[in-house]
Amino acid sequence: MLHPAASPGISDVNGVGIFAVASLPRGTIVWRRCDNCVELSRVDLTLYPDAVSRWYDEFGIGLDHGAVLVPCGGAHLFNHSCSSSAVCVNEEFGCLSRDVVAGEEITCNYLDFSFEKPWSFTCSCGAASCVSSISARGSDTPPPWMKTVEPDVFRSDIARVLQPLGGGGRLLDLLLP
C-alpha cells in the first residue's frame, strides 16, 4: 500500500520511480505492507515461469528463507539513491528519513537490502555522495533492517506526523515492536 500523496512517475534516476505529489515530512510512512501485497515463498516462486519469478525476485523485498514480498500499489517501484529520502524500516513499512517537497522523487537505499542474493549495478543517481558502483554480497539471514536500521530513530517522527496509512498509537507499536 502506497501513501496517497506518492505516485509512480517517470524518473530522472531510472525508469519509473515514486514521486511525492505533496510536500511530506520526515517520518511519513510512504508504504506499508497490507493484505493486497504479494508474498511468495521460495517454493511458490518455483511454480512460476522463470521470467515471472525473476521479476518477483527483482522487485520483491527478500524475507527469511528465500521468500519475497512485493508491496502493492506501485510501492515496488522506489528507485535507489545514494542520498535517499526514505528508508525501509522493516518488512512492514518504509518511512521518509528526511522531508521531501512536492514533485520530488522519493528514493531508498538498496544497500538496505544487501542481504538478498548477490547483485550489483552502476548508480547514476547524481548525488554528490554517489558511490557509483553498488553491490550486495548476498546472504540468507538476518534481514538487513535488523542490522542497518534502528527503528527507534524514526519513532518520534512517525508518531508526530499525520499518517494516512495508519501508524499512530497502537498500530505504531505493531509496526515497531
Shortest CB 164 distance to Zn ion, Å? 14
Cis status of the peptide bond prior to 142, with omega within 30 of 0: yes
Shortest CB 1 distance to Zn ion, Å? 4
State residue 75 phi and psi, 5-degree precision.
-70, -5
**Minimum CB distance to Zn ion smaller for 46 or for 85:** 85
**Minimum CB distance to Zn ion smaller for 36 or for 141:** 36
**Minimum CB distance to Zn ion smaller for 19 or for 110:** 110
Shortest CB 37 distance to Zn ion, Å? 3
Shortest CB 72 distance to Zn ion, Å? 3
Q: Which of 79, 62, 72 is nearest to 19 (CA)?
A: 79
Measure Cα distances from 148 to 21, 60, 144, 145, 170 in Å.
28, 19, 6, 5, 24
- Interface residue list for Zn ion (CB under 5 A): 1, 34, 36-37, 72, 82, 123, 125, 130
Q: How far apart are CA 25 and CA 140, in angstroms?
A: 34
